Amino acid sequence: MNAIVFLGIQGSGKGTQAKLLSELIGYRHINIGELLRAQIQKGSDTGKQVDKITTRGELVSDELVIDMIGAETSQEKKGIIFDGFPRTLAQAVVLLEKYHLLRVYYLDLPEQEAVKRLSARRTCRVCGENYNLLTHPPRSPALCDICPGHLCRRPDDKPIAIRKRIAEFYRQTHNLKDLFEEKNLLLTVSASGGIKEIAETIKRDIQIHLPR
């Protein structure tokens, strides 16, 4: 199974770029954070555990993430775009073993900018659409542009959880880019540019790396 990965600090725009690339090449976009939030919504025992861990800004267990990814991708035919996976070395090892990794896009953003963006992020309670009061504001301050839902701040976008999540990123995820670089799979793209400009860079690159 072909796979493409978006790697980057929280707020670097992985979700936005993964969605655009998915629309362009028809690979399925899998956002692990969203899969986990769906478990929380269900109110299952797993969901309750996940809720506590994610609200603290910590990572959930590798076993849970790897099982979820396996279940989600088993029926896929064309290819997958992962956003939020891998975040640990154990997850990266599984990725390299089980998928044919075409490319890893590392969206590079300074830590201070990430904190600023996460603090300004708002999510629709109903459809889950993401906004950013600085870079992608909704037309009306507290309402979704797409549905009648109200916008809220995710529990893990509060200052203490943001600090913890960023610390976890530097502790467990940031170094994974070296692993992919050694395998000539990595392209680093500055996440400070505009959404379209970044998408164009990725589009040009993926055209060279997609199987014919």
Nearest 5°: CA angle at 189, between 184 and 190? Answer: 150
Looking at this protein, which amino acid is placed at residue 105?
Answer: Y
- Rounded to an integer, what distance in angstroms lies between the CA atom of residue 87 and that of residue 150? 30
Q: Smallest distance, Å, CB 168 to ligand AMP?
A: 7
Q: Tell me which DSSP letter residue 156 carries.
A: G
The tokens describing 136, both together, are: 């992608």
Nearest 5°: CA angle at 190, between 163 and 6? Answer: 70
Stretch that binds ligand AMP, among 58-66, 121-129, 193-201, 202-210 (CB under 6 A): 58-66
Q: How many residues bind ligand AMP (CB under 6 A)?
A: 17
Neighbours of 7 (CB within 10 A): 26
- Rounded to an integer, what distance in angstroms lies between the CA atom of residue 81 and that of residue 16? 12
13 versus 84: smaller Cβ distance to ligand AMP: 84
49 versus 210: smaller Cβ distance to ligand AMP: 49
Residues 97-156 interacting with ligand AMP (rule: CB under 6 A): 156
179 interacts with ligand AMP by CB under 6 A? no
54 interacts with ligand AMP by CB under 6 A? yes
Q: Smallest distance, Å, CB 116 to ligand AMP?
A: 16
DSSP one-letter string for 21-88 = HHHHH-PEEEEHHHHHHHHHHHT-HHHHHHHHHHHHTPPPPHHHHHHHHHHHHTT--SEEEEES---S
- Strand, coil or helix: what is 131? strand
Q: Smallest distance, Å, CB 27 to ligand AMP?
A: 18
Q: Which residue from 9, 59, 104, 162 is in contact with ligand AMP, where contact means CB under 6 A?
A: 59
Residues 65-94 interacting with ligand AMP (rule: CB under 6 A): 65, 84-85, 87, 91
Determine the residue with CB nearest ligand AMP.
33
Q: Which residue from 5, 7, 10, 144 is in contact with ligand AMP, where contact means CB under 6 A?
A: 10
58 versus 76: smaller Cβ distance to ligand AMP: 58
Task: Give the binding site for ligand AMP (CB under 6 A).
Answer: 10, 32-33, 36, 53-54, 57-60, 65, 84-85, 87, 91, 156, 165
